[in-house]
Structure 1
Amino acid sequence: MLKPAVAPSASFRLTPVALACCSALLLSACGGSNDGNSLSTLNGDAPLVVAHRGASGYLPEETLEAYSMAIDMGADVVEPDLISTKDGVLIARHDPNLAYSTDVANHPEFASRKKTTQVDGETQTGWFASDFTLAEIKTLGGISTDAERPQQYNGLYKVITFQELIDLVKAKSAATGRTIAVYPETKNPTYHRDLGLPLEDKLIDLINKAGWNSKTAPIFVQSFEPSSLKYMRSKGLNTKLIQLIDADDVNLKTGALTYAVPYDKPYDWAKAGDSRLFSAMVTPAGLAEIKTYADGIGPWKRYIITVKGTLDASGNLTDINGDGKINEADTVSQPATTLIADAHKAGLFVHPYTFRNEKRRLASDYKGDPQNEYLAFYRLGVDGVFSDFSDTALAARKAYLKEMGR
């Protein structure tokens, strides 16, 4: 997705029945509560906590260890990005460019494979998964993608296949007695199709083999590219489908979202010459269009609550906290948009991304406490959140549910 506490007790984790209800109910009513304590989610259920790339705030992302930690924390759902190896195996990695999240640069045997190429219209230099077999990729270790996060685990944990994640989720569900869902993304699907390594049919096959091809199964399938979702639906995929909605950044002087390649529009739109931006998706017409092929949206959280800095007399951004840097810690949250209500009106659930704990990512009104940001979104009625820190998201949900008398 967009660029780059103590685990809660089992008492408020979703039970298998509750999670199944919550998942299925994202689409159809399931005896919603009329006790006066119903929530503002699409169907009045507690919002899901989705472990974004696993416990990626603590361990190298998209590794078995990161996913295991997130599940042990109590995450309801774990999220992998899926890309393809040279031999057509789906692996959990956020980027086709392995330089970003693995120690491939430390492997001299692969030095000759470094190259410059284009991914979704962006020129990148590095090592690309499509040039490596699974056996070769299995020699690489994951690394932290954020310098502020722990670095001592770099290289220790290996890249995994999607099948290995399915196996982990099934084993953990059986061991804990609670249903854990998965939330795979077809990553750069047009790019992979152009390489002759399409993702969709392989994903459908793995889902079928897992016995998960239904609306009530513990799985959500997401993509930034509408054509990927539409193709899978046409090929008989019956799971919940989610349209991701991106942007490049926020203009901190105005609070307006900005759009630049490759975060301006879905790449399939770009290739087709469609002039629309991702912003077209959050209009009532855009949401109605999404509803024809998907069940929910996964918008960047700034589409719901954006942030804005303070300007001095010369019109320059003010370094509020005096750390010599201008970032989101120097901003103030702006009034929420109507996106959640609009999406719910269209019958779509809303799972915004990505929530993180680092103080540089938190608007000043959250007072350095990431739970305050979660609470702001929970109170607006989001149906789930993508979080790098599942424990924090769960603790905030517990506080929110207590606040709501649940």
Structure 2
Amino acid sequence: MGASTVLLCGVVLIHVFASQTDAQRPRSPWKTLSGDAPRVISRGGFSGLFPDSSLDAYNFALQTSVADAILWCDVQLTKDGAGICFPDLNMSNASTIEVVYPKGQKTYPVNGVPTQGWFTVDFSLKDLNKVYLIRGILSRSDRFDGNGYTISTVQTVNIELRPRGLWLNVQHDAFYAQNNLSMSNFLISASKNVSIDYISSPEVNFFTKIAGRFGHNGPIFVFRFLEKETFEPTTNRSYGSILSNLTFVKTFASGILVPKSYVLPLDDKQYLLPSTSLVQDAHKAGLEVFVSGFANDVDIAHDYSYDPVSEYLSFVDNGNFSVDGVLSDFPISASASVECFSHLRRNATKQVDFLVISKNGASGDYPGCTDLAYDKAIRDGAGVIDCSVQMSRDGKPFCSHSIDLSNITNIAQTSFAQRSTHVPEISSNDGIYTFSLTWSEIQSLIPAISNPYRVYNMFRNPNEKKSGKLILLSEFLKLAKHSTSLSGVLISVEVSSRTS
């Protein structure tokens, strides 16, 4: 089944499941400033799958998101003053411009830092007709890089897609002013034919220039905060300093856009720290709070077990506050979180008859096949827990997803390492097998969590990487018997001459 098919199936589930669960939602309003559901803002469309800002990315975002999803466009200006949707003013990363114009590289000061690249201010809109959009993050699929996606103007996005919400982000107004281009003039002109719902920028002076120029029914202004240590280029104050004076921000903006860490900071091990009071403080000041940085394929706090829905819910439905919108590269996940899984509690009625079977217990949170992994799997709602049975030298059956103890424990660092043997029927490499140790010896080992994506520096729950203990088959069955939520167990046995 292809990726598109899976995602489209997910869309159907979102809308069906949302209608089925409406009756289970409490009647209390969202804890947003307006009391309405948080907005889902698709950054460059569905940019986690398609090239950022391509028409297919925008169209697919609309197809797979909540009905009132907002399309985000990073506005850049060309040499002839056209406004295009492209993720950065330097075009070398997410387009084919280096191939089309190999001699077009220049150096410009960007916020005071000399930067080399291919800049939009050096090319007319006609010049860019030959340039195609490609993925900007190399770890993502290149499947759509050869589709010949052209660069779209703001007007084209509006005419072709007619979105219910359009957000224009102006990241470098001062840069364009230095190159004799006016972003504010472009926006005023575009607004005559394009319905602009939100305008954001990290530059204070930009809002000063456009204040009052859109009339009473103009777009909502949102001040974008960068990292706290970074200096805002037009006031020479750090964003952390500006954050301490939200009443000042309220004088020129109706909302703020902040990185996730402003609301839920992490420690140096990627675990959540207590939430800040930013959302409550901003709401008291009359400011909406939008949060950026959501993507399914980036590191998130270990507390979420690599589940993006859990992360979204911690921002929109944590019982204490709700942010007013989330900026996501994968708007289908944000939409599911808001429309399907918000305000549901553990006692929610099951709507779809399906079975969840654990894999070595909750092996993404604890070492697999340990008591803690099985306990967590049951708490998380697994209907069936599984045990891959291995045998010790003294004939004790126990749960372990590998017959080679060097794969799942610290045995290589113990005196048992000398029991390594070569068994070609099992592996072409040497191993330290369960049938070489007694159960009491195996109990003395420290289990290790599995990290299948370590090559990408993605590690599971490091604080618990050595927690729990391996258990006998009889203990596993006893645990399952005393659970009131399980519907069964799955026992798997590999029979070989060594264990039979």
The TM-score with structure 1 as length reference comes to 0.75
Residue 378 of structure 1: how far off its partner (Å) = 0.6
- Map 1:316-395 onto structure 2 (within 5 A): 331-358=270-297, 360-379=298-317, 380-395=321-336
* Aligned equivalents of 1:219, 1:168: Cα separation in 2: 17
1:157 aligns with 2:153: no
* Aligned equivalents of 1:74, 1:12: Cα separation in 2: 14
1:189 aligns with 2:173: yes
Residue 399 of structure 1: how far off its partner (Å) = 3.6
Structure 2 match to 1:199: 183
Q: Any gaps of 5 or more consecutive residues in structure 2?
A: 1-6, 20-25, 349-500
Amino acid at match of 2:208: K
1:74 aligns with 2:65: yes
Structure 2 match to 1:24: none
* Aligned equivalents of 2:252, 2:161: Cα separation in 1: 27
Residue 387 of structure 1: how far off its partner (Å) = 0.4
* Aligned equivalents of 1:64, 1:277: Cα separation in 2: 36
1:94 aligns with 2:125: no
Q: State, as a whole percentage, how many aligned pairs show the same letter.
A: 26
- Decide which of 197, 202, 210 is 1:232's aligned counterpart: 210
1:7 aligns with 2:15: no
8 Å contact 2:304–2:311 — kept in the other structure?
Answer: yes
Distance change (3 Å), C-alpha of 1:136 and 1:13: farther
8 Å contact 2:313–2:342 — kept in the other structure?
Answer: no
8 Å contact 1:10–1:74 — kept in the other structure?
Answer: no
Distance change (3 Å), C-alpha of 1:365 and 1:232: same
* Aligned equivalents of 1:236, 1:129: Cα separation in 2: 26
Question: 1:276-309 CA distances to partner (integer Å, 9 max, x unpaired)?
Answer: 20012322xx211111111111111111111113
Question: 1:324-378 CA distances to partner (integer Å, 9 max, x unpaired)?
Answer: xxxxxxx1011110000000000111111020111x4211111011111101001
Higher relative contact order (CA 8 A, sep 6+): 1
Residue 137 of structure 1: how far off its partner (Å) = 0.9
* Aligned equivalents of 2:277, 2:48: Cα separation in 1: 30
* Aligned equivalents of 2:117, 2:267: Cα separation in 1: 35
* Aligned equivalents of 1:288, 1:205: Cα separation in 2: 30
Q: RMSD between aligned alpha carbons? A: 2.0
Distance change (3 Å), C-alpha of 1:191 and 1:13: farther
- Decide which of 235, 259, 267 is 2:233's aligned counterpart: 267
The number of residues matched between the two structures is 323
* Aligned equivalents of 1:13, 1:245: Cα separation in 2: 33
Greater gyration radius: 2
The TM-score with structure 2 as length reference comes to 0.62
Amino acid at match of 2:312: Y
Distance change (3 Å), C-alpha of 1:12 and 1:166: farther
* Aligned equivalents of 1:7, 1:61: Cα separation in 2: 21
Structure 1 match to 2:339: 398
Q: Any gaps of 5 or more consecutive residues in structure 1?
A: 15-34, 174-179, 213-217, 248-256, 311-330
* Aligned equivalents of 1:298, 1:11: Cα separation in 2: 31
Residue 185 of structure 1: how far off its partner (Å) = 1.1
Residue 106 of structure 1: how far off its partner (Å) = 1.7
Helix, strand or coil for the counterpart of 1:234?
coil
Amino acid at match of 1:341: Q
- Decide which of 105, 120, 124 is 1:133's aligned counterpart: 124
* Aligned equivalents of 2:17, 2:175: Cα separation in 1: 41
Residue 11 of structure 1: how far off its partner (Å) = 6.0
Structure 1 match to 2:199: 221
Amino acid at match of 2:243: V
Structure 2 match to 1:21: none
Residue 232 of structure 1: how far off its partner (Å) = 1.1
1:104 aligns with 2:89: no
- Decide which of 275, 279, 284 is 2:240's aligned counterpart: 279
Residue 10 of structure 1: how far off its partner (Å) = 4.2
* Aligned equivalents of 1:362, 1:208: Cα separation in 2: 41
* Aligned equivalents of 2:313, 2:259: Cα separation in 1: 17
- Decide which of 130, 142, 160 is 1:168's aligned counterpart: 160
